Structure 1
């Protein structure tokens, strides 16, 4: 069985929620939200890092932190929505564990983001049709990276037991 599971997908796809559920179901495993890991390491929020250093510098920090957590054992790692799309991040995830793409349609993501309380720099100020269009375009840009995952899961229909079985079989 693998020592690391990476949950990837667009913002709002349920990576953090599923990660916590999986660690509850898998004894001795820990959940790491990569964004929270970055915030704790650099003592700044993701929006602060974006504002102060820009996206390019944030992506470098993110990649460095991904490589750091890729050495931990018995961890479920919730990657940021853009993490797979930069540097060699997808290769790192596939070479060190099981990457699972939580696949959803733009409409389902839109519906989830409408009720989300999280502050997300990339969609700040967007709503309605503008937000739905942004999601569709950005998802299309990222899909090639996401689909490099070893496992693609229908995140709207899979249950926690399905994910646990998938992890245990790898």
Structure 2
């Protein structure tokens, strides 16, 4: 079983770190949201708006179970993926889950920059954004914490920090996969 699932709040670095980590481990990289968008030929935001959250979460669950059958794959999940259906339990059964844990302050700094690209954040003041992050992080953290590995992803801002994090995380994952993989 060679599957890695990255979980964490939006802005935690699942895609950024995930692409580099997958390359380092020689795994295929899949961003679950992009996988859904390619399958449905619509953005996640459009699917959410058209079908509602319940239907979107069902689609997300089905697509997670599909990519969860692949081998030698690193999957960056959506921020809410672990919190619905049996997703967290499923990922823990199918591979190694890694929670990219990030402080609300770091998330706030990163998401302030990306506000325009994220429909849930558009139009929020700085304080509203911080309140939104804190509220959701508090609600989702118990699910994220069920991950096999918890990795501090606060330091991903420079190339050096990102490279250091990739190396550390790769070593932790290789230890979990065992010597037969090396």
Is TM > 0.5 for Structure 1 vs Structure 2?
Answer: yes
- In structure 1, the residue matched to 2:180 is none
**SS across alignment from 1:169:** helix
Which 4+ stretches in 1 moved above 3 angstroms?
A: none
Residues in 2 aligned to 1:150 and 1:33: alpha-carbon distance in whole angstroms: 20
Q: Does 1:139 align with 2:134?
A: no
Within a 5 Å distance, the mapping from 1:31-42 to structure 2 comes to 31-42=29-40
Residues in 2 aligned to 1:115 and 1:108: alpha-carbon distance in whole angstroms: 11
TM-score by length of 1: 0.94
Residues in 1 aligned to 2:116 and 2:95: alpha-carbon distance in whole angstroms: 27
Q: Is the 8 A contact 2:116 2:122 kept in 1?
A: no
**SS across alignment from 1:91:** helix
Q: Does 1:75 align with 2:73?
A: yes
Q: Does 1:6 align with 2:5?
A: yes
Within a 5 Å distance, the mapping from 1:1-170 to structure 2 comes to 2-27=1-26, 29-116=27-114, 119-157=117-155, 159-170=165-176
How many residues are matched? 168
Shift of 1:118: 6.5
TM-score by length of 2: 0.88
Greater RCO between the two (CA within 8 Å, min separation 6)?
1
Q: Is the 8 A contact 2:5 2:74 kept in 1?
A: yes
- Which has the higher mean CA deviation after the structures are superposed, 73-82 or 151-160? 151-160
Could you tell me which runs of 5 or more consecutive residues in structure 1 were left unpaired when the two chains were aligned: none
**RMSD, aligned CA:** 1.3
Q: Is the 8 A contact 2:115 2:121 kept in 1?
A: no
Check 1:6–1:17 CA distance in 2 against 1; reply closer, same or farther (3 A cut): same
Shift of 1:127: 2.6
Residues in 2 aligned to 1:127 and 1:10: alpha-carbon distance in whole angstroms: 19
**SS across alignment from 2:120:** helix
